[in-house]
Amino acid sequence: MALSIAKERELSEVEGRVRGEFLEDLLHGTYGDEAAAQRRARHVGYPLHGSHIVVLVDIDDFRGFNRARQISEDAIQALKRDFLRRVTAVVRASYQRALVQGRSDQVVGLLPLGTEVGDHQAKSHALGLQIQQAISEWKPGFTVSVGFSAPIEAPSAVEGALREVTSVMESLARFKRWGQVVAVPELGLTGLLAAVSDERLVDYSRRHLGPLVEHDAARKSALVATLRAYLETGEQQHAAQRLRVHPNTLRYRLDRIREITGLNLEDPETRLNLSVALRVQSLLGM
């Protein structure tokens, strides 16, 4: 029985290595031609036809975790192996033939959607939450962010999809938005802002919101919060309800915002600039 178990374990390790090598070649675009990719896909039992999504699971602030706990290198490697095993188990429960591979403090996977994509976004989001829950139960206080690509064709689009998802995850980490489950198509404005340096983002926000921020700090007022509520609701009555103030109070605050900034809040371009500046402020925690 011991020999049989050892043999099964060895076969499982070899199979995992072969599947992992195939996934790495897909992710790096080094799979050869499409015919070669199709042969290897059949060999490892992965359905290459239809649509697929790339998923990336990233341990939040792993360097900070290491610094805080002074973990040995052996312990770090053991933790990463356990992390990979637990993420793989959750992914395979929903996508039995998924390709999953560990990469440092990340886990990357290729999930087959088949020819019927259906409501893949809801299914992906649910999978991301399941992964987060499994990791939280394994190590309380240990959080991960999960990113998904849009549906793609394989093998040609896998490399580009990984680049996109990696960029998204780096953006989340840069803005310290940890514990997220996001899909590339849903990122919107945040994805565009991620390509801009922090210095330019700070300058942009200060140019448009600086006088209001200074006024709030000096007078302990809430003009920035008022502006945010007004722009997000698009209507004074709803903004007053959100802020739980009388409509007359809201109108007074909007008049003060106009006086301090000299801006016309009815101008579409002005409203857009202010909305983007407020988003930047939220992302950078200003």
Task: Name the domain count of the chain.
Answer: 2
In CATH, what number is assigned to the domain containing residue 208? Answer: 1.10.10.2840
Contact 276, 189 (CB under 8 A): yes
pLDDT at 226: 95
**Residue 100 maps to a domain:** yes
Backbone φ and ψ for 86, nearest 5 degrees, come out as: -70, -40
Higher pLDDT, 15 or 94: 94
Q: State whether 178 and 56 are in the same domain.
A: yes
Closest CA to 169 of 195, 145, 135: 145
Q: Is residue 117 located within the same domain as residue 89?
A: yes
> Do 175 and 238 belong to one domain?
no
**Domain C-terminal end among 193, 211, 228:** 193
Cβ atoms of residues 108 and 55 within 8 Å:
yes
- The reply to whether 128 and 234 lie within a common domain is no
Cα separation of 214 and 218, whole Å? Answer: 6
Asked if 162 and 243 sit in the same domain, the reply is no
For the ranges 104-118, 190-204, 242-256, the one whose mean pLDDT is highest: 242-256
Residue that wins the pLDDT comparison between 196 and 274? 274
Q: Are residues 188 and 205 in the same domain?
A: no
Q: How many CA atoms lie within 13 A of 152 on its CB side?
A: 24
- Residue 8, pLDDT above cutoff 90: no
* Domain closes at, from 143, 162, 193: 193
Q: Flag whether pLDDT at 191 surpasses 70.
A: no
pLDDT digits (tens, 9 = 90+) for 140-155: 878 899 999 989 999 9
CB atoms within 10 A of CB 186: 13
> CATH no. for residue 73?
3.30.70.1230
Q: CB atoms < 10 A from the CB of 164, how many?
A: 20
In a domain, 223, yes or no: yes
CA distance 102 to 148: 16
Strands (E), 17-105: 51-59, 99-103
Same domain, 129 and 266: no
Residue 65 has pLDDT above 80, yes or no: no
CA 23 from centre of chain: 21
For residue 101, what pLDDT is reported? Answer: 92
- Domain match, 104 and 189 both: yes
Co-location of 184 and 255 in the same domain:
no
- pLDDT, mean of residues 85-107: 92
pLDDT for res 170: 82
Q: What is the mean pLDDT of the chain?
A: 87
- Asked if the structure places residue 40 within a domain, the reply is no
The two three-digit tokens of residue 112, written as one number: 């087959």
Q: Is residue 2 situated within a structural domain?
A: no
Asked whether residue 174 falls in the same domain as residue 99, the answer is yes
Peptide bond into 155 cis (omega under 30): yes
pLDDT at 192: 66
What pLDDT band is residue 108 in, cutting at 50, 70 and 90?
very high
Print the domain residue range for 237.
198-284
Instruction: Decide which of 175, 193, 211 is a domain's last residue.
Output: 193
Q: Is residue 167 part of a domain?
A: yes
Q: How confident is the model at residue 201 (pLDDT cuts 50, 70, 90)?
A: confident
In this predicted structure, the answer to whether residue 46 has a pLDDT above a threshold of 90 is yes
In this structure, the answer to whether residues 180 and 68 fall within a common structural domain is yes
Whether 32 is in a domain gets the answer no
Pair 65, 184 in one domain: yes
CA gap 58, 180 in Å, rounded:
10
Residue 227 counted as domain residue: yes
Kind and range of the H or E element at 51? Answer: strand 51-59
Any domain includes 127: yes
